[in-house]
Chains A and B, each alone.
Chain A
């Protein structure tokens, strides 16, 4: 699904990613750990193609295609979807309208989708206008459900979310990764989750500090990003336990 080869990225004069190599396979969910400022968000932004994240070396392959220089909308149309941490308010743009625009694979029913994330009353409000942390997360998921990406980039799904909302966010994030919102006719509803997952092959790249999201999604692999380098690959649970006990000091040792 996604292959990153020796990726170096600058913001201005500062190198924030220093040779990232990473492969995420079809249907796989990869967890990214790391202290603040280690480059995790920069990696997601670079994959999505934000202006200001300059690739100085290396390349990004998505579904076998080199997208290193592709404009953002092309990446989105190819199947990369991103949940924003702090999305902007767009005055006069109703959530309902944006949800419809997210869907390029055909018509979606915003009302039905909104019900599943408890966002019905937000459909006719301006997108992100006065939304709380949990509401932003649910709104981002709502858009991803409509977008049905093949690779989901999720920056800290638990930030700003209370415990009650965390359950909802976690469940829906899992459903998005499981392809449960793929409305294509060939996916009949009596198919088992496993079959669906095999068919839809949605992959995920999730940043987490707390690891709460691991209670909900079935994460296969994880790695720590530290000062622009990837290190310490392992099972996400093991990495999390290790960080809880030893902090990120281990990573420093490991890298040196």
Chain B
């Protein structure tokens, strides 16, 4: 693993002015946000948060059941958020958590009130605007009992920004019978280092559904979000679609720990390397029964690169049902020929199969975001990158 040296980045004094309306952003920056699933027209969002460099610049809720604010304001309001902050992640875990702990710039606090079923997604965006900026953020998401919400979080560089470091702590609390869909789209650039550190707990009857999409270059990304299923009947599902173009180094995975009976989880990662390196991890641990978990790491190497799949299963009681499927390979000739027999030439057949492999239908995304992702996949295919 390459090393990210925090001394290369400016972790102090890179502030940005607040904006009252996302339309005030330059159209190029609006496009950058859109590529990360964040829209400027808030009529289809129940709440919105934007962090730029080291300042939170915009925050608005359109639904009384969604509380959204800068994490620092939430700490003031809720006595330091002691019940939540740093309860799932150890600040001394590594230099990145330490940096976020010792020099907090911002991040978002989202609380969805008990019983509220939020129809429109909540969006948040963490953006790097200045060159060489280091961003320390901490996010806390609380879905109260019986509530349901979809959070779309886009992480992006501003138009033209090349380098930076994003260190993001996220702690998720999905309470009894609550449901959270958390969709993250990354739109970094080829000189950005990214170190998210995420963890969550799901209580009885709760659901945590995570979607992750990365189609753009990134210099160096390392993340391993971990979910603990602490209540009976709780569920976690991770779906990731990832492309590593040349020069990208991704060390990523998902972990689920099943600490209660009647828990289920599924982790599916579909990765393509077209010159980059992907370490595709996955870990399911089951300590109670009945419990059922399935892990899939599917990798295609198209035009160079490396994919290293590391699926791990850990059952500690009799009766657990854990399985995994991992593959690192190429597009099957059989599939290409099937489509060629229908009149597609080899290039058309290949790109059809790749589009299917990267298909995000299962994520249940809003149509506009899905179209945006499909567009990015087409652009990737049209370029020489793949």
| Interface residues in chain A, defined as those with a beta carbon under 8 Å from any beta carbon in chain B | 48, 50-51, 71-73, 76-77, 81-82, 84, 87-88, 90-93, 98, 101-102, 104, 126, 143, 147
Contact = CB atoms under 8 A, between A and B. Distances in A.
A87 B341 CA distance: 11
Given A87-B338, A93-B352, A98-B342, 20 more contacts: A51-B337, A71-B340, A71-B345, A73-B346, A73-B349, A77-B343, A82-B341, A88-B338, A90-B339, A90-B353, A92-B355, A92-B357, A92-B358, A93-B353, A93-B355, A93-B356, A98-B339, A101-B342, A104-B343, A147-B343
B340 A88 contact: no
Contacts of A98: 339, 342
Interface stretch (B48-56, B153-161, B180-188, B328-336): B328-336
B354 to A, nearest CB: 9
A67 B249 CA distance: 46
Contacts of B340: 71-73, 76
A32 B356 CA distance: 36
Contacts of A91: 356-357, 359
Given A50-B337, A51-B333, A51-B337, A90 B356 contact: yes
Interface of B: 332-335, 337-346, 348-349, 352-353, 355-359, 361
A82 to B, nearest CB: 5
Contacts of A72: 337, 340-341
**Majority-rule SS of A interface residues:** mixed
Given A51-B333, A126-B356, A90 B343 contact: no
Residue among A48, A81, A90 having the largest count of chain B Cβ atoms under 10 Å: A90
Nearest to B241: A92
B343 A76 contact: yes
B342 A102 contact: yes
A101 B334 contact: no
Contacts of B359: 91-93
A104 B359 CA distance: 24
A92 B361 CA distance: 8
A88 B343 contact: no
B342 A147 contact: yes
B300 to A, nearest CB: 11
A203 B225 CA distance: 58
Nearest to B359: A92
Given A92-B357, A92-B359, A76 B342 contact: yes
Contacts of A102: 342-343
Contacts of B361: 92
A90 B342 contact: no
Contacts of B346: 71, 73
Contacts of A48: 341
13 contacts: A48-B341, A51-B337, A72-B340, A81-B341, A88-B338, A91-B356, A92-B361, A93-B355, A98-B342, A101-B342, A102-B342, A147-B342, A147-B343
A48 B332 CA distance: 18
Nearest to B344: A73
A88 B338 CA distance: 7
Given A91-B359, A92-B361, A84 B338 contact: yes
A256 B344 CA distance: 44
B310 to A, nearest CB: 22
Contacts of B332: 88
Contacts of A50: 337
